């Protein structure tokens, strides 16, 4: 391999994040990413590696997309490849924004096949939901027989770091090649450690996504040579966050004390947090404090009353647990007591294998098939079991809920009749009857005359 290969490792740019509803803060996030790219061009590195969450959302604005394309185009003009994976914030059901950039020739989406730079092979794993980590298929990766170093890029919360969901040791042991470094995104704090003989590092986010991210923002410079791997850190110039602690000891001259503390700081163009401590019995006006901070030139003004949190007893322990999102959704759907058609539509909407453009057609086709199998003459509308297949047998439903569900069933019967492909009998009409105006209780008027309803109104 060459004497030395230099890579910039960055992540969590969250382009498009309009923090504190500020358009200027949205521009700050773009500027931070641009700063990393400009540094990379100036250093003439061999590649820029982005470990996920380039965008803050899966639906960035057109301005965000065009601005990002302009920045990446500068990197391409400098003949520096942009290698990236998909993070959880920007992940779409099918094609990703990263695929668009790859088709434009300004980015490369890393995956199971190695991207080669000199004697180095670089692989990537897009963000994997927690429920699918245990079933991840490592056999899909192809090892390069002449690779001196193998690097893996991931966007996950990894053990042994805080909040880890996926064990680095498990990943290293399961891949069909030796892993010399894992470059990570998702955790916004810079950190690095060794897991066995493998370097594992988070670059941290390029901008502060919350007030808790107090330390300076940064990215990594990874140097690889015949003597090994060296990982160093370079800071990014970002807008300053100012934290002003104020202690309230009495009622007299309270605002004079608070404003005096605030005036000790240079607040121009800063994001400012005033943290109130002290006696809980003394009321303060957050609005007055925030207005004073803004009058001093602050971009963003926030007041945090720390006295409320301070009321907790010292021995109070807080238990934190992370639920499987799929299971949480199932429980919530269970509580909604949806009709059979409603459950079917929910299943279709959440099926990642069905494109959004096909949801309407798929719903129509499958509901039509379901209707064909229903025998409405034999249906017992007094039997709650029709709509309680997914409920526990010991669930007690109030009489009012039973009546509502019976109404919904009757509504669906009307919909099926109206949407039938058969021609109506002579003298029938599908127009709405003016006497029947309650959509929750559709009535049949004259024999063969039906009111039309939309099935979606009753789901």
The H or E element spanning position 184 is strand 181-185
Shared-domain flag, residues 217 and 68? yes
Q: What's 93's domain CATH number?
A: 3.60.21.10
In a shared domain, residues 265 and 333: no
- Same domain (yes/no): 286, 180: no
Domain boundary among 235, 262, 282: 235
Q: Does residue 332 surpass a pLDDT of 60? A: yes
Distance CA 340, CA 446 (A): 29
Q: Residue 241, SS3?
A: strand
Q: Is residue 230 part of a domain?
A: yes
Is residue 223 pLDDT above 60, yes or no? yes
Largest CA distance in the chain: 91
* Per-residue model confidence as pLDDT tens digits over 253-291: 888 889 999 999 999 999 999 999 988 778 889 999 999
- 53 marked as binding residue: yes
Catalytic residues: 89
Task: Provide the percentage of residues in the chain whose pLDDT is more than 70.
Answer: 75
**Residue 292: is its pLDDT beyond 60?**
yes
Task: Note whether residue 441 is domain-resident.
Answer: yes
pLDDT of residue 42: 97
Instruction: Tell which residue, 24, 22, 23, 31, has the closest CA to residue 13.
Output: 31
Is 342 or 288 the better-scoring residue by pLDDT?
A: 288
Residues 257 and 221 in one domain: no
In a domain, 136, yes or no: yes
Residue 52 domain-assigned (yes or no): yes
- Counted domains in the chain: 3
How many other C-beta atoms lie within 10 A of the C-beta of residue 39? 17
At 177-205, the pLDDT tens digits run: 999 999 999 999 999 999 999 999 999 99
Whether the predicted pLDDT of 382 surpasses 60: no
Instruction: Tell me the pLDDT tens digit for each residue of 418-435.
Output: 333 344 444 433 344 334
- Distance separating alpha carbons of residues 362 and 356, to the nearest angstrom: 10
Q: Does the pLDDT at position 366 exceed 90?
A: no
Burial class (CB in 10 A: 0-12, 13-18, 19+), 123: buried
pLDDT (0 to 100) of residue 24: 97
Is the confidence at residue 456, as pLDDT, over 80?
no
pLDDT tens by residue, 52-63: 999 999 999 999
Structure tokens at 389: 């297949």
Give the domain range for residue 29: 4-235
Q: Are residues 70 and 129 in the same domain?
A: yes
Characterize the bridge pairing of strands 166-167 and 120-125: unpaired
Mean pLDDT throughout 436-445?
40
Q: Which residues contact 105 (CB under 8 A, 6 or more apart)?
A: 76
The DSSP output letter for 384 is G
Same domain, 229 and 370: no
Within-domain flag for 322: no
- pLDDT tens digit string along 119-152? 999 999 999 999 999 999 999 999 999 899 999 9
Which range, 218-232, 295-309, 397-411, has the best average confidence (pLDDT)? 218-232
CB-CB contact of 72 with 99 (8 Å): no
Give a yes or no: residue 183 inside a domain: yes
Flag whether 318 is in a domain. Answer: no
Give per-residue burial for 256-278: e unless 16+ CB within 10 Å, then b: ebbbeebeeeebeebbbbbbbeb
Whether residues 11 and 30 share a domain: the answer is: yes
CB crowding 215-243: b at 16 or more within 10 Å, else e: eebbbbbbebeeeebebeeeebebbeebe
Residues 450 and 388 in one domain: yes
Q: Are residues 279 and 410 in the same domain?
A: no
Q: Are 290 and 213 in a shared domain?
A: no
Out of 208, 235, 262, pick the residue that ends a domain. 235
Residue 155 annotated as binding site: yes
**Whether 49 contacts 10, CB under 8 Å:** yes
**101-115, 342-356, 405-419, range with the lowest pLDDT:** 405-419
Percent of the chain with pLDDT over 90: 58
Greatest mean pLDDT range, 73-77, 162-166, 360-364, 426-430: 73-77
- pLDDT band for 348, please (50, 70, 90 cuts): confident
Residue 351's CB: how many other CB atoms inside 10 A?
A: 13
What pLDDT is attached to residue 20? 94
Name the DSSP letter for residue 55: B
Return phi, psi of residue 317, to 5°: -105, 140
Length of the chain: 459
pLDDT score at 361: 79
pLDDT (0 to 100) of residue 311 = 38
Residue 257 sits in the same domain as residue 222? no
Phi, psi of 202 (to 5 degrees): -105, 135
Q: Given 255, 275, 309, which residue is the final one in a domain?
A: 309
Residue 337 annotated as part of some ligand binding site: no
Within-domain flag for 316? no
Higher pLDDT, 32 or 307: 32
Judgement on whether residues 58 and 123 belong to the same structural domain of the protein: yes
Span of 99-103, 142-146, 184-188, 440-444 with lowest mean pLDDT:
440-444
What is the C-alpha to C-alpha distance for residues 344 and 25, in angstroms, rounded to an integer?
42
- 287-317 burial by CB neighbour count: b if 16+ within 10 A, else e? eebbebbeebebbbbbbbeebeeeeeeeeee
Q: Token pair of 22, please?
A: 């500020």
More confident residue, 437 or 219: 219
């Amino acid at each position: 391999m060459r004497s030395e290969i230099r890579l910039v490792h960055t992540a969590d740019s969250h382009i498009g994040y309009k923090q504190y509803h500020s358009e200027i803060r949205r521009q700050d996030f773009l500027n931070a990413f641009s700063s990393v790219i400009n540094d990379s061009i100036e250093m003439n590195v061999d590649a820029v590696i982005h470990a996920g969450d380039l965008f803050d959302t899966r639906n960035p604005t057109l301005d965000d997309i065009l601005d990002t394309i302009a920045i990446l185009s500068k990197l391409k003009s400098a003949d520096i490849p942009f290698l990236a994976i998909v993070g959880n914030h920007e992940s779409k059901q099918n094609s990703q924004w990263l695929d668009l950039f790859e088709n434009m020739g300004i980015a490369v989406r890393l995956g199971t096949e190695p991207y080669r730079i000199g004697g180095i092979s670089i692989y990537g794993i897009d963000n994997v939901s927690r429920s699918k980590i245990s079933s991840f298929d490592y056999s899909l990766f192809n090892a390069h027989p002449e690779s001196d170093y193998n690097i893996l890029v991931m966007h996950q919360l990894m053990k042994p770091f805080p909040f880890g969901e996926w064990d680095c040791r498990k990943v290293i042991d399961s891949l069909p090649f030796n892993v010399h470094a894992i470059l990570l995104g998702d955790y916004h704090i810079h950190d690095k450690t060794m897991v066995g003989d493998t370097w594992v590092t988070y670059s941290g986010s390029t901008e502060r996504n919350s007030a808790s991210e107090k330390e300076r923002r940064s990215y990594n410079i990874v140097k690889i040579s015949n003597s090994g791997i060296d990982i160093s850190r370079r800071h990014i110039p970002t807008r300053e966050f100012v934290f002003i602690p104020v202690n309230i000891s009495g009622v007299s001259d309270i605002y004079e004390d608070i404003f005096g503390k605030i005036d000790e700081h240079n607040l121009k163009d800063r994001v400012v947090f005033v943290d109130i401590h002290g006696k809980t019995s003394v009321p303060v006006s957050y609005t007055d404090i925030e207005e004073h901070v803004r009058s001093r030139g602050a971009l963003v003004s926030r007041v945090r009353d720390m006295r409320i949190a301070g009321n907790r007893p010292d021995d109070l322990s807080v238990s934190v647990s992370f639920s499987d999102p799929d299971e949480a959704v199932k429980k919530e759907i269970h509580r909604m007591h949806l009709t059979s058609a409603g459950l079917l539509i929910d299943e279709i909407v959440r099926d990642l294998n069905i494109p959004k453009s096909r949801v309407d057609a798929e719903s129509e086709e499958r509901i039509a098939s379901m209707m064909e199998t229903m025998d409405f003459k034999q249906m017992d509308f007094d039997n709650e079991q029709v709509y309680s297949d997914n409920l526990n047998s010991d669930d007690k439903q109030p009489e009012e809920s039973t009546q509502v569900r019976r109404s919904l069933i009757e509504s669906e019967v009307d919909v099926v009749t109206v949407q039938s492909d058969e021609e109506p009998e002579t003298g029938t009409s599908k127009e709405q009857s003016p006497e029947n105006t309650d959509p929750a209780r559709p009535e049949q008027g004259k024999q063969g005359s039906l009111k039309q309803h939309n099935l979606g109104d009753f789901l």
